[in-house]
Amino acid sequence: MDSPGADPDTTHLTWSNVSLGFSFIAFNALLSTALNLGVGASLLTAAVRCVLQLAVVALLLQRVFETDNPWAVAGIAALLNLLGTFETVVNKSKRRYQNMFPSVLISMVGSTIPVSVIGIRYAMAVDPFWKPEQYIPIVGMLCGGTISGIVVSVTYVLKEIYDSRDKVEMYLAFGASRAEACKPIARDALRLALTPTINQMSVIGIIAIPGMMTGAILGGSSVQQAAKLQMVIMFMISASTALASIVSTVLTLLVVVDAEHRVRPDRVDTRAHVVWRARAAAVRAVVQGVKGMACWTWGKKGVSGNGEAEGERERLLG
């Protein structure tokens, strides 16, 4: 039921509406199962995560908006960058290198924070720039864009260094510096990382109506103002993604090709992240414990049953 002060033109959504939206994901999962695509479980898991994460974020942001405290806004921005780094290193990367977590964190913070501060204060003309309803959503969008760019660039660099190290070693053997030897890899990695952003900018407005523009229109802004806001935000996302991709690519190459101009594949870890290895070990321990308990229980019942049978036999014979 809508609150008394609610705008009558604003749609009030309930959890039943969310359930209807979730039915689209359920349909896709059923379709995946029927076609044996193997992505049904991933779809459902991602959808459940989406619901839980957005519900928690909504509660948290509501408190932050009510306090209107710059330190609370700074804490949310730091948390978003930290969670984005964790998602990049732990969940998205199949290969990792030494000290990858701080490197990715530096790339994200060094791109999202400066771009968001300068863009909101001057390009969007918001004063103060840290207004929660303005700053936090922008930082969240910047973090989402930088995650994609970092994952693509770092994944390509590690793949080339680990699988095709002969090319780099040939350049180094002929006297090239590590910057010269790694330049082709860095160029291709950045091209791949920035291609989705470039494609998105090229089709925006003609083929795709972006979500931020749609939200501004639904919120009551004029179409012209919503379009200009979307332009500024798109440029901020592109700049942040490019900066983060460049920094992460450079930091990755500095680790996998050392100061002595040697390729170091030993610094690349192809195993699952330690978080998932620890989880797998914990699951195995629990399963073994349950099996041991079940065997002990059945063994005890078997001994008790054998004792009773022996006693009955002696009674009949005696």
Q: What is the pTM of this model?
A: 0.77
Residue predicted with more confidence, 82 or 205: 82
Dihedral angle sign, alpha carbons of residues 133, 134, 135, 136: positive
**Whole-angstrom distance, CA of residue 9 vs CA of residue 88:** 40
Q: How confident is the model at residue 3 (pLDDT cuts 50, 70, 90)?
A: very low
User: Tell me: the pLDDT tens digits for 118-174?
Assistant: 999 999 888 888 888 889 989 999 998 899 999 999 999 998 888 778 888 888 888
**Whole-angstrom distance, CA of residue 76 vs CA of residue 132:** 9
- Looking at the DSSP bridge assignments, the partners of residue 204 are 208
**Whole-angstrom distance, CA of residue 88 vs CA of residue 91:** 6
Q: How confident is the model at residue 6 (pLDDT cuts 50, 70, 90)?
A: very low
Whole-number Cα distances in Å, 290 to 277, 283, 284, 285, 293: 20, 11, 10, 9, 5
State the average pLDDT for the chain: 84
- Looking at the DSSP bridge assignments, the partners of residue 269 are 96
User: Tell me: the pLDDT tens digits for 209-240?
Assistant: 777 777 777 667 678 888 888 889 899 999 99
